[in-house]
Every structure is written in structure tokens, then in C-alpha cells.
A and B are shown apart, each in its own frame.
Chain A
Amino acid sequence: MMIGINDILAILPELIVAGSVCVLLLVDFLIGKENKALMGYLSLAVIFAAAIATWSMTRSGSLPVDAFNGMISVDKIAVFFKVIFFIATALTIMLSLSYIKDKNINLGEYYALLLFSLTGMMITASSSDLLSIYLGIELMSLPIYALVGFRVRDGRANEGAMKYVILGAFSSAVMLFGISFIYGLTGTTEISGIAEALRSADAQPAALGIAIVMLVAGFGFKIAGVPFHMWAPDAYEAAPTPITAFMSVAAKTAAFVVFVRVFVDGFAPIVEQWQLILTVLAILSMLVGNTVAIAQTNIKRMLAYSSIGHGGYALLGIIAATPEGTSSVMFYLLVYAFMNLGIFGVIVMMNRDKSGGELITDYTGLAKKNGALALVMLIFLFSLAGIPPTAGFMGKFYVFMALINEGMVWLAVVAVIFSAVAAYFYIRVIMLMYMKEPEREFSYARPLSVLIVITISLIAVILLGVLPDRIIELAEKAVGIL
């Protein structure tokens, strides 16, 4: 077997990012300590180049492209997810430019690690084989382990990173054990081959059930689904704030690609077997995520639990196991990326405070001092709570519709009840901002890059809430409904 030019072209965006990072690491030596922001701008340029390469692939009209003997398959779903990754990584870099300077961790490696992680996500998105999925997921996770512990002088950061890396390694071992049994039972690791083998087998051996549970545990860890969520609050609190945003948005989205590929596509013939397991995972995630968030005093921990809950909602679209469900998950994750990056942008602005804007009480009376910032935060919180006319509402709406069309009305009702519970802790922050008198003077960091991120997110959250049709149409075209 030879690697041809077509194989190279299929992974050109990944190659651009991976190749440029290696060059960037060398360039880093030439840049002085004060000018590390240049690394950030160069990284943005790399992402832009990769986005152009991805875009030109959709132009040529040749999708889906299969390459590397079925290891890689670039289809429209992959492109849609890659766009989410580009947006999330670019906005994270813009949030980081001033933040890492403030926190005295202004190192070029920070951006390099982010781009390595982006490469892993892109590979995951265009994988069509368990081997390449596993490699992509690990390439995504390893740089994030390092990024979580990036504030090496802070004991909390090391502790959070240590917990994350041990549990992460444990969960990927469990996932691999599941993969090895899938390979043993079906004789292949290719997603389409697995579906084929499962369809033609007349009886499913018991080992298959065990393998599926192990895969759910491994991938469930990556989306921080309950009961595999223990690492999330600690890692989110420990990480630099932009990285918290990155983990909760991009890494979670990448894990959902795996659910789409492996479960919705690969395990399509045995849908009853995994539907129940994922339903339990989704309900537990919504329950624990939305109720434990109420008790938090640190806003990053609160958003960690909120992110666990949102993972539960997005899982509902996977459970529907239809093309419509997949498209609703894709739309939901895009919406979630904007609203979560937006709210973390506000938190980054507050980081000049003593407690770094990390305590919920830091926001007491914000509306009296800075009405605009409080209003922006209010819109993001409304969106996270799923209140119309924000994008968060539309995202939930389409996921629930996909469930109801599959006849799983009870599950949609349960999810709606949990989102009512969730509204409580989002609105509590709004109450603190608007109903209380400020106890102190606020000091903000207001660099242009963070303001741009907040503006972009705000426009997206409102536009996707009022006019979601075009993006929904794109998602539905990607899964082949239209």
C-alpha cells in the first residue's frame, strides 16, 4: 500500500496545523519574553490557513473523501465539527493573549499546546476507524493535561492537572480494553466494517455488552458525563480561565464526534443495547450537573457543573440515533461554544480582582457599576439557561424535537424539568448582579481581543437564537436529511 497524493490532500488541514506548530516552536526561541503575543497572532494565522484549506475541500464538491485505507473519511459532518473547533480555538487564543500576560505564564508553548490539541480534534472529526479515533482523542487530551497545569507556581493547578491526568489515563485504558473486544468480536476496527459485522451476526455475544459499557465509560469521561465526571470541577477550577473555556467547549465537542461516529454510525445495528446506557448517562448528567451547581461558590466550578449538565442535553440528540438527532447535536454544540466562550470572556475581564473574578460573589452589584458588562453576562446566562430568544433555547428546542419525533417524549419531559432546575443557579448570578448594591470597586482588564471575543459570541448567541434556519439547514445537509 502506498500513500498517494489524495491521502495527503484529505488531511491537508491537519497537516497545516501540525506542521506549523513544529515551526512555531522553533520561532518561539527567536521571540523575546515580552513579545509572546506574536505567537498568539501566528497561531491565529495558522488556524485561518487550516480553515481556508477545509473550506476549499467543501468547494471542490468531492466530499466525502476517503483516505488511508479507510482510516480517514472527511465528510460534511467532519467539516461542520472542524468549523466549531476552529472557532473555539481561535476565540480561546484571543481570550488568552492578555490573560496569560496578567498571570505571568506568558510562554510560547501555551499556544503550541493549544494547536496540538486542535490537531487531535480535527483528526478525531475526520476519523472513520477506531484506531484513528483513539489517536485523535489522545492527541487532543495530552496537551490539555499540560495546559491545565500550566500555572506551575500554583499548587491548585498541579493538583487539578494530576487528578485529570491519572483519571484520563485510567479512562483511556478502559476505553481501549473495550475497543480491543470490539476488534476481537468483529474482526475489524473500521466503523463501517463494525456496523457490517454486527448486522450480519445472528446472535450478539455477552462480551459485546461489556465492550459497549467500557466504550461508554471511556468516551463518557471525555464529555464529563456522570458518573465519570469527578475530574471536571477540579480540572476546570485549576486550569487558566481560557483553558477552562477551551476544555468545556472544544474537548467536549470532539468527544461528541466520537459518539456520532462510533455509536450512531458504527453501533447502528445494536441501537437498543446502547440507547439505555446512554439514557442513564444523560439523565444522571443532567441531574447531578444541574443540582450540584446550585451549591457552588466558585463560578468556574459552577460552570463546570453546568457544562456537565449541557453534556447531558447534547447526549439526548445522540440517544435519538437519527440523522435529525445528529444534526441537532451539531447545532447545540455550536451554540454552546459561543455562549460558553462568551461567559468565560466576561470572567477573563474580571481577572484583575484579588480572587480573579472566580467567586460568584465577585459579581455582586455589577449592574450598578458597569451596566453593559452586566447586560452581556445576563444574555449569556439566559442562553445557558435556555430562555428564548437566545440561541441556547433554540439548541435545546431542536434536541428535544429530535427526541419527540423518535417517540421518546418522557425523556424530553425529564430534560425540560432539569432545565427548569438549572435556571435557578444561572438566575441567582443575575440576581446578585442586578438586585444587590456593589460592595467594592471593580477593576477590569479590557484588552481589545477579549472585547472582540465577547462581541462575536454575543452576536452569534442572538443571531442563532433569532434566525437559526441557515445553520440548522447546514447541519441537516451535513447529515444528509436535505
Chain B
Amino acid sequence: MKKLSKELIGASSIPIILSVLSKKESYGYEIIQNVKEISNGKIEYGDGTLYPVLHKLEKKSFIESYWKIGESGRKRKYYKISDKGRKELLTEKESWTIINQIISKLWKIEPSLI
């Protein structure tokens, strides 16, 4: 199974993480597993690389974090989406829809590219 390019994974990380967190609050390890499952293994965030992205989103106030003892009894840092983050997700959705429409249009005109 061919994985997606690093650049594409990097560019899509913000809308993907915000979308995951818009469903429910989560912690780093769970987010990685969740994205891996949804993408059928095509997107697998590096263990140590997801956290800087999460911290960047937190700095921009798109998400909030807090430490909580999970069901397993272990202490974990949970992240949840903020109102500002939900607005950002809407903007991201619009942008990605536009990109999707442009690419779909282009490939309809030139089916040989597919």
C-alpha cells in the first residue's frame, strides 16, 4: 500500500486533526491510531511529529489541552477543539473543497491524466 507524500500529509494535518477532535476529545496516541484507521494506513503520523503540530494548534488557540486520568487509569494529555478551532475547520473545509473542485474539473477535461 503506497503511503501519501510527506508534503501532502503535512499540508492536510491541520484539517485532519481538527476534524478528529471535532468528533470527540482525544490524546496523541489515539489521534495517530484514529487517522491511521480512517486513512487505511495511508496516513501514519510519526510518533514524535504529531505533538509539535498539536502544540502549534494549541498556541493558535484552535485546540485546548488538559491532563486527565483515562479509562486505563493512566494520566494522559487530552486535546479538545475550541470555538476558534471550529471556525478554522470550516475555513479549511471551504479551502479543501475548492481544491477538490479545481482538481476534479481539471481531470474531467483531461481524462488521460487519471
The answer on A and B forming one complex is no
